[in-house]
Amino acid sequence: MALAGWPLPPHRSKCAVLYIAFAPFGSRPLRDFVASYERHPPGIECDLYILCKGFSDDEAINEFLDPAKALAYTAIRVPDGGFDLGTYHYVAQRLDANDFCFFNTRSVILVGDWLRMLHKYSRDAQIGAAGATASCESLYSDHLRAVAEGLRAGRSLRSIAGRSFLNRWRHRYLFPAFPNPHLRTNAFVIRADVFRRLRFGTIRSRLDTARLENGRSSITRQLRRMGLEPVIVGQDGRRYDASRWSRSDTFWQGGQHNLLVADNQTEKYALASATERSSMTRRAWGTDPGPDGSHHRIAP
């Protein structure tokens, strides 16, 4: 396998599937993703690109990608900076495709025909993007809750700064209060022309990525300013608009039985205690799962 370089040979893909292979995470995530990709066919024609990030040289990349040798894919070495969103943006500006499907390093596909289902809805002229997960979490409301519950108590300079008025104002300025509906920026399909209209700015820190996912100029909010709506899709093949996200049995709710693609955050919920799950559900949806799996509204 040889690494592809820019510019790639002219070839317009119906849908480009982009997966980030991040060296510092080791080979286990790649093995898990490849196994899930082989077990669950996408359902429509696509081109798989493995974006190689954090590697010292091309020889290390070739050895790292050995678990994917049975797949048809193109490997591309990408710059180390920019976190996941920066990498998505970097590649999308250079790759000729009709649509993009983005996967982060910890993605695991759970059901076949996943791309067909996501792609079907992403091509709707009124939809901006179709993803596997979403949330209404607000980092501002989370901050207020943490301060109120004493989670930032202490006399250290960091603790004092964390509960200061200045830090509270910063969170309020950067992030809308709950409910703050937004697509999570993993396992989502978006039309290339729409993606290239998004404004990313410079991505140097996790704060920059948080702002782009759930801040005041998030991808979701930018799509809505274009007159486009974000949706999520479940294993059942159904489309869920924002008003129904909290009842989709996907991210941080119930047993996540309708989840299309898992990642480290859905795994965190799956492995959590009942008390921890309840707290995570409140953060994401402002609800608490009842014994019958229903959700009861709790004021944020």
Domain at 229, CATH number: 3.90.550
Q: Which of 123, 148, 174 is the last residue of a domain?
A: 174
Confidence of residue 157 (pLDDT cuts 50, 70, 90): very low
Q: Are residues 168 and 27 in the same domain?
A: no
Q: For residue 272, tell me if it sits in a domain.
A: yes
CB burial class (10 A; 0-12, 13-18, 19+) of residue 215?
buried
Q: For residue 2, tell me if it sits in a domain.
A: no
Q: For residue 52, tell me if it sits in a domain.
A: yes
Question: Could you tell me if 274 and 280 are in contact, meaning their C-beta atoms sit under 8 angstroms apart?
Answer: no
Q: Are residues 30 and 83 in the same domain?
A: yes
Q: For residue 150, tell me if it sits in a domain.
A: yes
Question: Could you tell me if 109 and 36 are in contact, meaning their C-beta atoms sit under 8 angstroms apart?
Answer: yes
- Give the residue carrying structure tokens 């790292």: 64
Q: Are residues 51 and 148 in the same domain?
A: no
Q: What is the pLDDT of residues 219-244, one digit of tens each?
A: 999 999 999 999 999 999 999 999 99
pTM of the model: 0.90
Q: How many structural domains does the chain have?
A: 2
Q: For residue 89, tell me if it sits in a domain.
A: yes
- Give the residue carrying structure tokens 């509204």: 297
Confidence of residue 7 (pLDDT cuts 50, 70, 90): confident
CA distance 36 to 110: 7
pLDDT-wise least confident of 4-13, 103-112, 225-234, 278-287: 4-13
Strand partners, 134: 183
Q: Are residues 224 and 100 in the same domain?
A: yes
Q: Are residues 117 and 91 in the same domain?
A: yes
Q: For residue 266, tell me if it sits in a domain.
A: yes
Task: Give the domain extent around 166.
Answer: 139-174
Q: Are residues 44 and 185 in the same domain?
A: yes
